[in-house]
A and B are shown apart, each in its own frame.
Chain A
Amino acid sequence: MTLKNEKKLANVDIIQEGLEQLNYIGNQQIATAVFLAYHLEKPILIEGPPGVGKTELAKTVAEMLNLECIRLQCYEGLDESKAIYEWKYGKQLLYTQVLKETLGEILDGAKGLTESVTKLHEFGDIFFSEEFLEPRPLLKALKKEEGCVLLIDEIDKSDHEFESLLLEMLSDFQLSIPEIGTIKANDKRKPLVFLTSNNTREISDALKRRCLHLYIPFPDAALERQIVQARVPEIAENLRNQMVTFIQELRDMDLKKVPAISETIDWARTLILLHTESLDADLVKQTLNVILKFQEDIETVEAELQSVTNKALKENQ
C-alpha cells in the first residue's frame, strides 16, 4: 500500500512527531497503531471513554497525510442504503421517460414479444450501471483513487446487522453490489480505516478479530499538560498546571461522568475568557458546569471544592 505521503508513515517516531505538529499529543501506542494499520492494511478499532480524542485521531491522521476524511456516523437503524449505496431512482425514472420516444426506433422491425425482448436485452442493464448509483460513505471510500481516511464513528451505536455488513469491507476492502458485482479498493491505496466505540455494548468478536485494537485511556498529568499546552497555547503555565491537577483529582472522585480531555480544553478556554490568573474556589464553582455535565456530580464536587482547589494550588506553587 502506498500513499502519496508515505514518508510520513515511515516509522513510529515520525508519526508521533507529525501528529504533534498538528497539535495531537499522544503516547507511543497511538503512533504504533497508526504505523501498523498502514503497513498491515488493517483497520483500527479505537475504544476509550468519551472525549479522549478518538475521533480526533482519525481526523488528524487525515490532515497529516493530506487525504480526505470520509466520515460515517453510526446510529440505530443505519442500513446499507445509507452506508454503502443507493440507486438514483429519480434519475432512472426520468431517463425512462425521455427514452420512451426512442423505444420505437429500437424495436423497429421486431416481430412479436420474444423478439422485442431479445432486442432489448442487447442493451444490457444500463439502468443498473454505475451511472445510476449513488455512492454512500463506504463505497465512496473504496472508490477514492488516491486513498483516503475512512472514519466509522461510534460503531457501538449501530445495530448488530450493520456490524456484519462491515465485515467484508474491513477484511478485504471490497463491497458486493448484486446488480454490478464486487467493487474493490485500489490495491495500492487502500483506505485507512478508523472505527471508534464508546463501549456502550460489546463489539462482536468477528469485527474485533479483523481490527487492531487501540485503547486510549485518560492521560496522566504530564501528558494532559502537554495537550492543554498544544491546544490552548495562550494559557499561562501556572494556571495550566493548577487546572490539570484539579481535573486529575476529579477523575479520582466517584462521579457519574468524569471530565475528559475535551472538557479540560473547554475549561482552559473559559478561564482565558474570564482573564483568570489563578484558580480559586469561587471561580471554580462558577465554571464547574463546563467540566461537569450532571447536577449530581456538581453537587458532589461542590462539597469538596475548597480542599481540592487548595490541593491544586499547593502542588503547583
Chain B
Amino acid sequence: MDRTLVDFVKVLRTAEIKVSPAETLDAMECMDLVGYENREFLKNSLALVLAKNPEEKEAFEDCFERFFVMDKPAQPGNTSSSEDESGGEDEFDDGDFNAEGESQQSGKGGGQGGGQGAGEQEIDDSVPQLQPTSELGKLLTTGTRTEQTISMMEAGRKVEVSKIVVFTQKGLFTRKIMDAMGLKGLQDEISDLTAHGGPGQRNLSGRLKKSRDLLRERVRDYVEKQFFLHADETGKQLREELLKKVKLSSLEKRNFKDVQEVVFKMAKKLISVHSKRRKTYKRGQLDVRKTLRNNMQYDGMFFNLKWKASKVDRPKVMCICDVSGSVSNYSRFLLMFLYSLAEVLPKVRSFAFSSDLGEVTKLFQHSKLEEAMARTMRDYGNGSTDYGRMLQDFKNHVMDDVDNKTTIIILGDARNNYGDSKSEIVKEMYDKAKRVIWLNPEPKSSWTVGDAEMKKYAPCCHQTEVCNSLVHLERVVSNLLKSVS
C-alpha cells in the first residue's frame, strides 16, 4: 500500500497540493488505522491529513476520485473471461478499490505478472490441448478481470507510465505495457496455434486474438487516464511558467483567464511572505510606560525593561495607470496584482487616465475584477495620452492626500504626443511622497526615442523599472512590500 500512497501523493503534488514528507508519513499511519475497506472513510481521513485548505480539499477530492478508480466501463461482447464477467462486474464497485491494495501484495510476491511469460512459453505440440500456455494467454482466458487489471497496473508501474509527459507518448506506453505483460509470448503462441491448424487450436487462437485486442483497448484507456492524472498538470505548470515570462502586451484575450490564475497564485505567495507585520526596535529608547506596567508584578522593581518599538506600517499605495491602448494590458495586470494583495495592502488608491485622470478605487473595491477592468477601460481608455493633463489633475485633486508614507506607482510608457510634460509636478510628488516608482513597459533603449519623455520624468523618480511581464510585476510588488520600514 505504501507505494500506492506515494504515487498518490505524487499526483497530489502535481495538482498543486503541498504535501510534505511528514504529512505523507502521517497519511501512512492514518491508512494503517483506517484500512481501505471503506472508501468514503478513507477519503475523509486522507483529506484531513493531506489537504490543508478549502481549495486543496476540492483538488484533493478530484484527485482521489480519479486516482482510486479503475476502468469501469462495461465492454460490450467481452468474451475474454465469460464466467467471471457477470460476477466481476457486480462486485466491481467495491472491488475496484481493493484492487489497488492487492496489486501491491502481488508486486511484493515477486513480479510474476510480466516479462516471464516470454521466456517460459513452451508449446508442446505432441499433446494438443485447448488451454493457452503463455502467461498472458492464461491470464486472459482464466484470470478474473481484477487480476487482469492488477497485472496491467504492475506492468504500468514497471515501465513508469507515471512519467508520461506529452500525449504523443500514449502509443509508446501502451506498447510498453503490453510488452511487459508478456505480449510476445502470446503472439508466438497465437502464430504457433494458427500454423498447426487443428480446429481446436484455431478456435483457441481466435479467442486469444480477440481478447488480446480487448486488452490492448483497456491498456490504451489506462494509459489515457494516467496521462490525464500525471501529465495534464505538468503541462499546465509548464504553461504557467511560460505565461509568467511572456510579454504582457502580446497576451491574447483567451489567455486572460490563465493569467488571472497565475496572478492570484503569485499574490498569494507574496501575501504569505509579507503578512507578518514587523516591528523595528529603536535601540536604546526606554519605553517608560510599558516598563512600569510590566514590572508592576515585581513590586515596581525594574528588571524587565521594555524598549520602544514601532510597528512597520503597511505601505499606502497610489497607483496611476495609463489605460490607453498601448499600455492597457499592463495596467490591467498591475491593478489585478494590487487588488489581489488586499490582505497585505489594504490602502490602495488607484487612478486611471489616458488624458483625464479619474479615481477608480471604489469601482475595484465593489465590483468584480473583470467587470471593474472593463468599466475602467470604457470610461478612461479612449483618447490620446496626455501626461501633462493627468499630472495637473493629480495635483489639483489628490496631491493634498500624499504624505510621507505614500508610495506612488506610475505605470505608463511616458509617450506624451509631444505635449507639455509638466515634470515639475512629478518633482513635487518626489518631494512629498515616500517613494515614486515609474514602471515602463518599453525596453530601456526606447525610453528616450520619439515622443517619450522618460528623460524628463526619470530624475524625479526614486526608481524606474522596465516592467513587461508577470515576473517583473511580481518583483516590483515584492520590493514594494519589502521596502516598507
Contacts and interface: CB of A to CB of B under 8 A. Distances in A.
Given A202-B272, A213-B53, A32 B41 contact: yes
A47 B54 contact: yes
Contacts of A47: 53-54
A209 B20 contact: yes
A45 B49 CA distance: 11
Given A12-B41, A36-B48, A93 B299 contact: yes
Contact of B57 (A89, A90, A209, A215): A215
A39 B33 contact: yes
A29 B22 contact: no
Contacts of B33: 36, 39-40
A160 B26 contact: no
Interface in B248-294: 271-272, 275-276
Given A40-B30, A201-B343, A29 B47 contact: yes
A105 interface: no
B29 interface: yes
A160 B274 CA distance: 12
Interface residues of A, number: 25
A166 to B, nearest CB: 16
B299 A33 contact: no
Given A160-B276, A209-B20, A28 B40 contact: yes
Contact of B26 (A12, A32, A40, A90): A40
13 contacts: A28-B41, A32-B44, A36-B48, A47-B53, A47-B54, A201-B343, A205-B18, A205-B52, A209-B20, A213-B48, A214-B48, A215-B54, A215-B57
Interface string A174-218: 000000000000000000000000000110010011001111000
A29 B51 contact: no
A213 B27 CA distance: 13
A90 B298 CA distance: 7
Interface string B325-354: 000000000000000000100000000000
A81 to B, nearest CB: 9
A123 to B, nearest CB: 22
Nearest to A160: B276
Contacts of A59: none
Contacts of A54: none
B170 to A, nearest CB: 36
Interface in B45-103: 45, 47-49, 51-54, 57
Contacts of A215: 53-54, 57
Nearest to B278: A160
A42 interface: yes
Interface residues of B, number: 29
Contact of B298 (A33, A89, A213): A89
A201 B45 CA distance: 25
B23 A209 contact: yes
A36 B30 CA distance: 7
Contact of A36 (B49, B52, B272, B343): B49
A32 B299 contact: no
Contacts of B51: 213
A32 B48 CA distance: 9
Nearest to B47: A29
B313 to A, nearest CB: 16
B49 A212 contact: yes
Contacts of B57: 215
Given A32-B45, A160-B276, A205-B52, 18 more contacts: A12-B41, A28-B40, A29-B44, A29-B48, A33-B48, A36-B34, A36-B48, A40-B29, A40-B30, A42-B26, A89-B298, A93-B299, A202-B272, A202-B275, A208-B52, A213-B49, A213-B52, A215-B54
Tell which of B49, B52, B275, B297 has the most Cβ of chain A within 10 Å: B52
A48 B271 CA distance: 20
Contacts of A208: 52-53
Nearest to A11: B41
A209 B17 CA distance: 12
B44 A89 contact: no
Interface in B204-261: none
A36 B297 contact: no
A261 to B, nearest CB: 18
A93 B296 CA distance: 13
B48 A212 contact: yes
A208 B23 CA distance: 10
Nearest to A201: B275
A28 B44 contact: yes
A209 B30 contact: no
Which residue of A36, A44, A45, A209 has the most chain B CB atoms within 10 A of its CB atom? A36
Contacts of A90: 297
A178 to B, nearest CB: 15
Interface string A7-44: 00000100000000000000011001100100110101
B52 to A, nearest CB: 4
A33 B48 CA distance: 7
Contacts of A44: 48
Contacts of A213: 48-49, 51-53
Contacts of A93: 299
A98 to B, nearest CB: 16
A202 B54 CA distance: 12
B39 to A, nearest CB: 12
Nearest to B20: A209
A300 to B, nearest CB: 13
Given A209-B23, A213-B51, A36 B40 contact: no
Interface string A36-70: 10011010110100000000000000000000000
Contacts of B54: 47, 215
B320 to A, nearest CB: 29
Contacts of A12: 41
Nearest to B38: A12
Pairs of residues from A and B, 8 with the lowest C-beta to C-beta distance, nearest first = A32-B44, A212-B48, A213-B52, A208-B52, A160-B276, A29-B44, A89-B297, A39-B33
